[in-house]
Structure 1
Amino acid sequence: MGARQITLLDASSEMLEIAKCKLSDCIASGMVKKVVEAKMPPIPFPDETFDVVMFNLVLNHLDRGNPAFPNNVNTLKESVRILEPDGLIIVSTVLSTTLSRVLWFSQLNMELTNRFNATILPSVEQFEKMFEDAGIKCIQKLNILGSDLYKSYYNLNGPLDESWRKPSAYWSFATTEEVATAVQKVKVLKDKGEYEQWVKEHDHTKSSGVLTIFFCTPLPTQKDTPLAT
C-alpha cells in the first residue's frame, strides 16, 4: 500500500509477538511506529490520527453469536473517529459462503462449518448493515483469488495433524467430536483411494478466492456520531 508508517494493534500478545518477529526490519527502520495491545472497542488513539484504518480478519471475532454486531458497529465508528478527513477504511474477511463452498477442509464436516458460520462469520449483507449502522459507505468489494495466504493450505494430511489445526480459528472452534468426524472422513476417503480427487472437487480457491476485502469511506455527517450504548 506504500505506507510510510504503520501502527499495529491486536488483543493478543501472542499474535503481536509473531508480528514483531515477521516485521523486525520494519520496526528497526521506524516504518512500524507502534505496537499496541488492546481489545476493541474502543480504539485507543486520538481523533484523526490515521489516513487508513485496516481491519485484517478481525471484525468477525468481536461479536461471536450476536447478530446485532454491537462491538463491530462501535469499532467501525471508532475507526471513523481516528481517521483523517478523506481517509479510507479497509476490512478483510472470509465470508460464510467461502467457508461453505470454497475451502476443501471446511467441507469435511458441514455441521461444524454451519455452526462456525452462524457464530463467527457475518455475510455480505450483515457487513453492509454494519457499515450502514456505523455511518460508513462501502465503495468497492474485492475477492482475492487463490490460497497463497495460507502456505500449508494444500497439506492434505493437515486435518489429521493437531499442529496444523491449532493455529486455525475454524479448528479451534470445533468440539472433540467434530474434529473426530472430519478426521474419520479423511481416513475413509484415503482408504478408498479417493481423497486427492475429493479435495480437487471441493477446492475452489482458484476460481472463487479466499479473502474478501471491503473498501469504505465515512459518510460526511459521521465524524461526530457518538458510540452506541
Structure 2
Amino acid sequence: MSVARPARPPEPAPPDSVRLAEALIFCAPAPMTEADLAARLPPGTDVPALLAEIARTYAPRGITLARVAGGYAFRTAPDLAPCLRGASPEPRKLSRAALETLAIVAYHQPVTRAEIEEIRGVTTSKGSLDLLLETGWVRLRGRRRTPGRPVTYGTTPAFLDHFGLDAVSDLPGLDELKGLGLIEGRLPAGVRLRQPSDTAVPDEDPLAPGEDAAD
C-alpha cells in the first residue's frame, strides 16, 4: 500500500529572476501587474511564487511589496509613516468641493455631473471636475444611455495607487468611515453607499476613439 507523500514546498525563484523583478517593479512609473512582469521575465517564470518570495524578503524591511491598483509596487512600511512626515513636499490640497466630488465619483461610479450635483445638493463647478481630471484621479468613462448622452466619470489606477487600494471594491464602507471619524453623528435611515464599479455597466457606453468628451 502506497503512502501519499506530503506536498513539497514551492522552490524559491531563481535569484536572477528575483533581482530582475525587483528592478522592474522599482523602476516602473506605475504598479506592475503579473502579466507585465511575465512579459519581461524569462519564459516559464512562476510569477506568483516570485512575488511571494519578494514579499517575504521585504516584509521586515523599511520598504515592502504592496499590491495596489491591480499591480505591485514598492512602498514604505506603514509603521514608519510618522517618522517620514515632512520628508517630501506636501501635495496640492483639494478644496472641500473637489474632495466631495471625488468621494462621490469614487463611491458612485459611473456617475454623471448631474448625479453628482443631485447627491451634493449644489451645483458642481467645472473647475472641481477639471482639477480632478488634471490630478489624474478621475477619468471620463463613457456616456450614459439616457437622453442627452451625458458623460460618466470614474476613478483611475492613479487614484487607487495614491490611496493604497487594489480595486474600488476595497474602498472603506460606512462602518469603517465612522470608525475613522470621517462620518460623525447619526445618518438618516436608509442611507447607504452604492457599490461602485470600475467596469462597464449595462446603461453605459464607452467613449468612441477620438471622441470629444466635453461635458
More strand by share: 1
More helix by share: 1
Q: Whose Rg is larger?
A: 2
Q: Normalising to structure 1: TM-score of the pair?
A: 0.23
Higher relative contact order (CA 8 A, sep 6+): 1
Q: Normalising to structure 2: TM-score of the pair?
A: 0.24
